Chains A and B, each alone.
Chain A
Amino acid sequence: MVIIHMTCSLLSYAAFLVAFICGILFLVQERQLKRKHIGVLFHRLPSLMALDRANLIAIGAGFALLSAGLAFGLIGSKVLLGRWWISDPKTYMATLLWAAYLVLWVMRMRSTLRGRRVALLSILGFSLVLFTLLQASYLLSSAHPYL
């Protein structure tokens, strides 16, 4: 149970990393197009549309994996510790993360946001991921002493 929980969570972080990279490439490419300046990367980078789509897929996949990870975490906690919720900074952060990516994903699916703003938010989102990933181990005491 714990293993599935960890695997799903870590895979979701990996997916968010992909979204983060797509976001950065999107911003670089868009900047070149908007400023009408062709740099060395221009011919090597994929199109904005492709980056936007890859970003959407990565966020969707990451969100699904994170949901699964959280679900298994809840079930694991119930089975092993007898209660659904452990009050722990990491669980709060992970829930926040889940909510943040949910909002981002829904906004992108409904096309309220698109392009540059989604790219920016997926970069911001990943900093939250990093914080969630590292805080438990280094910054705050936690019931999640591992990564």
Chain B
Amino acid sequence: MHIVLLGVNHRLTPIELRERLAFRSEQLPAIFARLREEVGLQESLVLSTCNRVEIYARVPEVNGSVDRLRRFLSDHGGVSVTELAQQAYCYTEPQSIQHLFSVASGLDSMVLGEAEIVQQVKRAYESAREHGATGKVFNVLFQRALNTAKAVRTQTGIGRGSTSVGTVAVELAEKIFGHLGSAVVLLVGAGKVGELTLRRLIDRGVKDLRIMNRSLERAVELTERYEATPVALGRLEEQLVEADIVITSTSAASYLLSRADVELAMKRRHQRPLCLVDLGVPRNIEPAAGCLDNVYRFDVDDLQGLVMHAHRERQHAVEASQAIIDDKVDRFLAWWREDADACAPLLSEHAAAR
């Protein structure tokens, strides 16, 4: 009895091939039936995301099953068996289990430690279970995989910090204001990164959004999309009194906000803290404004520096994550062996009775 894995991922295989091999969720019921009947898998699971296509299988013997599985996958994607053999990896236990636990923990992801993969593994498992493709061993295996992912995330820094400029800005704002539900956000200039940051802020509960942009058309488009309030260009000063978080991303040649502007605004806002996120290059806000009390100013370099920092921190957490995974793999293998031993006499009795 073996647990094997056949798959392709973003490290080894270009997207042109991955997209041909991918499975759509509506195909899965038929796929599971074929995997059981044609390939002869006792239990199976298909994990198909934008970065990977992997089939996990429990098989009675490795050799014939893997060949049949490879043929099945090449047939599904319209890829020749030899090409697939070059691109795809195939593992048996314990590597297959190790790989699964690493994938679920985000160690094999493009952005190290990203959290989305946990949900993807969970959905893949639920889909396989609903269609009767998993049995006792895979139910335990995938629950342990999810469990491992959780342990790794909570016990190491693998998911800590933010890995994009937008999320870093949000994280900083949250460290100033706490929950952002009652924060007022003003976006000046509607560039791509600014919009991305805006979207992250909405994800974190921001409701009061104001948008100021030179092109009215773009401003209206954005205000409609995010249910924001448009603000006339000349009213920056008074907006600065009401807003808590100001994001600027204009291509203006001179400062939009000088230190004196911000100082005046701080008086008028009774020193309530103000978070300035300057995404413009050249910068839109005079850097010296950040020296004022209760003013927190971040520019693109600051944010990118923090992104790099988060990546480095996550890299540091890999070793500790690996240790947790190894431990969980050992425990699963021990359970599996014990379970197989417990079942063996029953099976032989069964065989004898026949």
Q: Which residue numbers of A lie inside 8 Å of B, CB to CB? A: 29, 33-34, 36, 38, 42-43, 45-50, 111-117
Contact = CB atoms under 8 A, between A and B. Distances in A.
B3 interface: no
B23 interface: no
A114 B175 contact: no
Nearest to B294: A115
Nearest to A36: B302
Contact of B176 (A42, A43, A47, A117): A47
A64 B290 CA distance: 36
Contact of A36 (B161, B177, B272, B298): B298
A47 B175 contact: yes
A49 B177 CA distance: 5
B306 A38 contact: yes
Interface in B276-324: 290, 293-294, 296, 298, 302, 305-306, 309
Interface of B: 160-161, 172, 174-178, 270-273, 290, 293-294, 296, 298, 302, 305-306, 309
Contact of B293 (A42, A49, A115): A115
Contacts of B160: 43
Contact of B271 (A29, A42, A48, A111): A111
A84 B174 CA distance: 51
A50 B272 CA distance: 13
A38 B172 CA distance: 10
Contact of B270 (A46, A47, A114): A114
Given A36-B306, A115-B273, A48 B293 contact: no
Contacts, number: 51
Contacts of A49: 176-178, 273
B178 A34 contact: no
Contacts of A43: 160-161
A34 B296 contact: yes
A47 B177 contact: yes
B294 A34 contact: no
Given A38-B309, A114-B294, A115-B294, A46 B271 contact: no
22 contacts: A29-B175, A33-B175, A34-B290, A38-B306, A38-B309, A43-B160, A45-B175, A47-B175, A47-B176, A47-B178, A48-B177, A49-B176, A49-B177, A49-B178, A111-B270, A111-B271, A114-B270, A114-B293, A114-B294, A115-B273, A115-B294, A116-B293
Given A36-B302, A36-B306, A115-B293, A42 B270 contact: no
Contacts of A45: 175
Nearest to B266: A114
A50 B179 CA distance: 9
Given A29-B175, A49-B178, 10 more contacts: A33-B172, A36-B305, A38-B306, A43-B160, A47-B175, A49-B177, A111-B270, A114-B293, A115-B273, A117-B293
B102 to A, nearest CB: 24
A114 B176 contact: no
A50 B306 CA distance: 23
Contacts of A116: 293-294
A38 B293 contact: no
Contacts of A34: 290, 296
A44 to B, nearest CB: 11
Nearest to A108: B271
A29 B273 CA distance: 14
A128 B296 CA distance: 31
Nearest to B301: A36
Nearest to A117: B293
A97 B160 CA distance: 43
Nearest to A47: B178
Contacts of A36: 298, 302, 305-306
Given A38-B161, A111-B271, A33 B177 contact: no
Contacts of A47: 174-178
A53 to B, nearest CB: 9
A33 B176 contact: yes
Contact of B273 (A38, A46, A48, A117): A48
B178 A50 contact: yes
A42 B310 CA distance: 12
Contacts of A48: 175-177, 273
Nearest to A35: B302
Nearest to B297: A34
A114 B270 CA distance: 8
Question: Which residue of B160, B175, B309 has the most chain A CB atoms within 10 A of its CB atom?
Answer: B175
B150 to A, nearest CB: 18
A45 B309 CA distance: 18
